[in-house]
Structure 1
């Protein structure tokens, strides 16, 4: 049996390009004792992967050149020699950008597709949703009645965060690129939507809709957004920083914003985080998400491209604003 998979050809400098990737056909052997053979149905593409394509070791090792791209995936067990998993079971893994794989059964997780569609485990019910939840609950400690600014509001984490923050009783300002995305973030609950592409003064645009100031900021973008956030945050404001996508493709070291002194003057609390360090909160996340979904407060959004060969295009689309909600590739 064969499987097509995506390999990284070389470490990146600047923006990712099609020639950085190759689609390769590989053997998909039958499972040995303790293994399963899985056919993927959806794979995830995520901004954090850009750091792994630079060849630098940060909080996670870089991708290996000439090897399959690791990442979130869901699929169906085709053959099993592992107790506890049977053909037809749905599983989630980190085996990434490939049509299928054979691996140890204890390295995948069985998922329930009766209450949620399988791809939700890569988005709203997976690490994406958990990232938004950790940022709001643990990093910011968002309170009912506060005002929070969610950057990249039409993205995967941003769209989840808007809905979670509304469920927590907050007023939500969302920034997004373009009129269509601004309409989308309003449709999922944002009280105010600002098209950052249509203003030369993002801080002024935020002040116009929140003259009382902003209590908390969820950082997904960095760069000009971070600079504006320091301007509009109230004294003792809080920032949860999980991504700064505006700078991921910079070939050289980015300049530093010149208003950092506001961190001191306003006594701001800035907490960067990696979601994998906060898995202990997952039980609370599942409980709250289930409650919010049953109450009709959550509307998951996805942008789906078809075919493993579309994985590089899907990934590059993250940096060009082509996605609304979670970017996925359907296999």
Structure 2
């Protein structure tokens, strides 16, 4: 059997190849890809950025939804015809993140990809392929921060910066948990779409941390999700409540960001990074989404990679997805 694989050309584009399928190992699963979710890291891999050149000969993308086309003789978790999602860090099954958990990642931009049976999760049955393809990075990162850190309770306030894929998922999860969401963005139109309890337009209120304090009567937010905007980390700490948490869930504009150490110390803040999540977290998230009938916000669906990456670069509301049919 031959199938199509896409590889980076090192010049900002992709080349299409036909490859022969290797024999499946006993624990292997072959997935027919139906949809692929796009993330900023995918643009960096294909097109590069100011910090690094485009990669060459890499199969890009990590987020896929598809159908099991074949299984190895020892596979017990899946059967042919099951709908599945990829996991971004397949070594991270459960428990805390480790070097082993970070040692391997998934590559999915192909007609088929092979994975171990432990590398996949069942797609939520209430979601379409395009919706399920948005989950592995954006949804799971948001779920990790909002639910798995176990710092947010019903009635608490959470601040969410920007209105991209991770942020919109975080708003959905927090609202479903009964928290009060304050959305922070420079786009009034996107703020109106957010459905948040309160919104702050940074074009109007550049010192948005002060607005958070005003909205919470000086208490601050129990959880602030920081997206790595210019000077965001210092403001996130100031917007947080005493004993609150600042979760760094993205690096949108700056790889380094100043932090007000005095505020962190004085408020007894917990400042921590959030790296996607484990397979166990993914499965808990999928159950929660099914229970609450949550659907991802998809900004646009394309069948062309360049069109999808161009849309991703234009600051969409929610996720951009590739729909792949061969």
**TM bin (shorter chain):** 0.7 to 0.9
Would you say the 8 A contact 2:85–2:123 is kept in 1? no
Question: What is the TM-score when the length of structure 1 is the normalising length?
Answer: 0.74
Q: Find the aligned partners of 1:75 and 1:279 in 2 and give their Cα distance.
A: 17
Question: What is the TM-score when the length of structure 2 is the normalising length?
Answer: 0.75
Shift of 1:130: 2.5
Give the 3 Å change call, closer, same or farther, for CA 138–121 of structure 1 in structure 2.
Answer: same
Would you say the 8 A contact 1:151–1:218 is kept in 2? yes
1:44 aligns with 2:26: no
Give the 3 Å change call, closer, same or farther, for CA 144–157 of structure 1 in structure 2.
Answer: same
1:207 aligns with 2:198: no
Would you say the 8 A contact 2:226–2:248 is kept in 1? yes
Q: Find the aligned partners of 2:222 and 2:266 in 1 and give their Cα distance.
A: 15
Out of 301, 308, 320, the position equivalent to 1:314 is 308
Q: Find the aligned partners of 2:36 and 2:29 in 1 and give their Cα distance.
A: 18
Would you say the 8 A contact 1:89–1:110 is kept in 2? no
Aligned match of 1:256:
258
Q: Find the aligned partners of 1:168 and 1:267 in 2 and give their Cα distance.
A: 25
What is the 5 A alignment of 1:266-285?
A: 266-276=267-277, 278-285=278-285
| Structure with the higher helix share, 1 or 2 | 1
Q: Find the aligned partners of 2:119 and 2:226 in 1 and give their Cα distance.
A: 31
Would you say the 8 A contact 1:28–1:101 is kept in 2? no
Shift of 1:122: 2.6
Shift of 1:43: 1.1
Give the 3 Å change call, closer, same or farther, for CA 55–182 of structure 1 in structure 2.
Answer: closer
1:143 aligns with 2:139: no
Aligned match of 1:300:
296
Shift of 1:135: 0.8
Give the 3 Å change call, closer, same or farther, for CA 66–165 of structure 1 in structure 2.
Answer: same
Q: Deviations over 1:229-253 (max 9, x none)?
A: 22222222211122121225xxxxx
Would you say the 8 A contact 1:39–1:75 is kept in 2? yes
Q: Deviations over 1:187-242 (max 9, x none)?
A: xxx10122224433222333343333222201223433322222222222211122
1:196 aligns with 2:202: yes
- Structure 1 spans left out of the alignment, 5+ residues: 10-19, 249-253
3-state secondary structure, aligned to 1:74 = strand
Name which of structure 1's ranges 193-202 and 45-54 shifts more when overlaid on structure 2. 45-54
Would you say the 8 A contact 1:139–1:239 is kept in 2? no
- Structure 2 spans left out of the alignment, 5+ residues: 87-105
Aligned match of 2:319:
326
Shift of 1:172: 1.0
Q: Find the aligned partners of 1:110 and 1:264 in 2 and give their Cα distance.
A: 40
Q: Find the aligned partners of 1:256 and 1:112 in 2 and give their Cα distance.
A: 39
Aligned match of 1:265:
266
